[in-house]
Amino acid sequence: MIAPVVRSMRPRQWTKNLLVVAAPLAAGRLFDSPVWWQTLVAFVAFCLVSGAVYLVNDSLDVESDRVHPRKQHRPIAAGELSIRTALVAATVATVVALAGGTAVRWQLGLLLLGYLALQVAYSIWLKHEPVLDLAVVAVGFLLRAVAGGLAAGLFLSNSFLMVAGFGSLFMVAGKRYSELHTLGSEAGTRRSLIRYTDTYLRFVWSIAATSTALAYCLWAFEQPPETLPWQSFSIVPFVLGLLRYAVDIDAGHAAEPEDIVLGDRGLQAIGAVWFVLVCLGVLGV
């Protein structure tokens, strides 16, 4: 039973939970004690609670998944995992996640509970509502970024929240745009998707990308440089990263963001340069 449960929790998508490191990294506190282990607990808690949401979602969508060319291979739809077992596993994962998060900081436990409630509402109803589905998924990404700062008790600036929020909307709108292009006639399996047009989604992710770049500039310029303005230098690879990701969106390849992060070597190289510049800035080199 363990292998089907783990596969249903979609560990490949746990890369999204790395967003919890954003706030401690931006504050230059990631490797401080106890910040590093508080961030680690937040990461593991989000992996568990997001995995529980996937189990619930697949249990609710089992009939539609069985007629979908790709989703029919998911363990629950394929009959490898019963709905009862999936819901028991989701309950256990949720309890462990909430207990771990609350042990670090009660506010983190409350945030995880709010994330869970929002995602369950998404699985039952909100994913079928245009615009609301974009907002809910974007808020899910934003809550991950907030969780890292909350777990470590760090201050989150307005510009940081704007980068996280608009960046999340950029990824979500790009995901829907790619789904619209790749699914074609299969778009009927997601009711909200058939009410979007490619021009509307292009409009949304274009605005989100512009807002993300501007918000990042605000964040970078407000950081007092110790020696050289490394954060300001990091604007260049950050914007290049957005443009590189936009190439994948425009080609219809961004339906699974984790595949782009793990498979696009050019984007990884740009991200490495950005990471080094940010680290130099926060360390005051």
Whether the bond into 224 is cis, omega within 30 of 0: no
In terms of domains, do 178 and 133 share one? no
Same domain, 172 and 144: no
Q: Which domain holds residue 211?
A: 157-285
Residues 84 and 161 in one domain: no
CA 283: distance to chain centroid? 26
pTM: 0.84
What pLDDT does 189 receive?
A: 53
pLDDT for 162: 92
pLDDT of residue 185: 44
Q: Are 178 and 252 in contact (CB under 8 A)?
A: yes
Q: Are 7 and 148 contained in the same domain?
A: yes
Rounded to 5°, the CA angle 215-218-221 comes to 150
CB 21 within 8 A of CB 148: yes
- Cβ-based neighbour number of residue 23 at 10 Å: 29
Pair 146, 171 in one domain: no
| Domain-ending residue, one of 125, 140, 156 | 156
Dist CA 85 CA 88 (whole Å): 5
In sequence order, the 6+-apart residues with CB closer than 8 A to the CB of 45 are 97, 98, 100, 101, 108, 112, 147
Report how far residue 282's alpha carbon sits from residue 19's, in angstroms, rounded to the nearest whole number: 17
User: 102 and 76 in one domain?
Assistant: yes
Residues 205 and 173 in one domain: yes
83 and 172: one domain?
no
Pick the last residue of a domain from 115, 130, 156. 156
Q: CATH number for the domain including 149?
A: 1.10.357.140
pLDDT in tens, the chain (285 residues): 788 888 888 888 888 888 899 888 888 888 888 889 999 999 999 999 999 999 988 888 788 778 777 777 888 888 888 889 989 999 999 999 999 999 999 999 999 999 999 988 888 888 888 888 899 989 988 999 999 888 888 888 889 899 999 999 998 898 888 888 776 544 455 566 777 888 898 899 999 999 999 999 999 998 877 778 889 999 999 999 999 999 988 887 776 777 787 788 889 999 999 999 998 888 777
* 208-239 CB burial, b ≥16 within 10 A, e <16: bbebbbebbbebbeebeeeeebbbebbbebbb
Question: 247 Cβ partners below 8 Å, 6+ apart?
Answer: none
Question: To which residue do tokens 């739809």 refer?
Answer: 77
Residue 6 makes CB contacts below 8 A (sequence gap 6+) with none
